[in-house]
């Protein structure tokens, strides 16, 4: 897969530098806790991507997406952080693929109806590509900077959302799909 420069700052951070994405988070105002969370999600997503056999995976995009998925938390801690992140990323020249990861990582995806109920513009925010699904799944399995099992994450989401919430079924389906790709 081809490598793309997705961020060029006046300090000339470049794609190959292992800290470039963390610096973007810091430069945009993310807290140390958000930076630590994003680092943990990126590591988890990269580990998942390395195990995928069923489809080609752009591991560099997964790494970037994991590191930058919560960049919008520099502006808000609410569900709108995904859209804020897209706005920030556009301004920084992120690739469309990276912007899609940022926009679609929330929950295990959010349907148009749920988005409207949450005050987001009415459209689906469901991960589509393998890379989007891996980052979303890795995010769901990371609380703060601590990884957790699917079972623990499912219990947590069920406590927050309730047993009958559509997000619970989306998370179960996301888990089954990602696991089906693994070696």
What residue spans define the domains of the chain? Answer: 20-180
Rounded Cα distance, 75 and 108, in Å: 22
Average pLDDT over residues 47-74: 94
Q: What is the CB neighbour count within 10 angstroms for residue 10? A: 6
Band the pLDDT of 14: cuts 50, 70, 90: very low
- Domain 20-180 in CATH 3.90.79? The answer is no
Rounded Cα distance, 123 and 75, in Å: 22
- Closest alpha carbon to 139 in 55, 70, 49: 70
pLDDT at 55: 85
- How does DSSP classify residue 73? G
Q: Which residues contact 130 (CB under 8 A, 6 or more apart)?
A: 52, 55, 56, 57, 181
Distance spanning both ends of the chain, measured CA to CA: 21
Report pLDDT digits (tens) over 147-168.
999 999 999 999 999 999 999 9
Band the pLDDT of 20: cuts 50, 70, 90: low
Rounded Cα distance, 104 and 47, in Å: 20
Average pLDDT over residues 100-105: 97
pLDDT at 7: 37
pLDDT at 21: 72
- Closest alpha carbon to 107 in 50, 178, 170, 37: 170
Mean pLDDT across the chain: 89
């Amino acid at each position: 897969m081809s490598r793309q420069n997705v961020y060029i700052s006046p300090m000339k951070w470049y794609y190959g530098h292992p800290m470039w994405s963390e610096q973007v988070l810091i430069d945009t105002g993310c807290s140390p806790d958000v930076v630590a969370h994003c680092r943990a999600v990126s590591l988890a997503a990269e580990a998942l991507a390395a195990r995928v056999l069923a489809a080609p995976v752009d591991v560099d995009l997964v790494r970037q997406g994991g590191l930058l998925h919560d960049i919008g938390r520099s502006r808000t801690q609410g569900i709108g952080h995904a859209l804020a992140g897209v706005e920030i990323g556009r301004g920084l020249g992120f690739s469309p693929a990276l912007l899609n990861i940022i926009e679609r990582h929330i929950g295990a995806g959010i349907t148009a109806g749920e988005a409207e109920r949450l005050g987001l513009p009415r459209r689906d925010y469901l991960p589509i590509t393998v890379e989007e699904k891996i980052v979303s799944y890795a995010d769901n399995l990371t609380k703060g900077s601590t990884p957790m099992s699917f079972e623990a994450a499912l219990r947590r989401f069920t406590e927050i959302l309730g047993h009958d919430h559509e997000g619970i079924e989306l998370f179960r389906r996301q888990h089954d799909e990602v696991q089906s790709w693994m070696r």
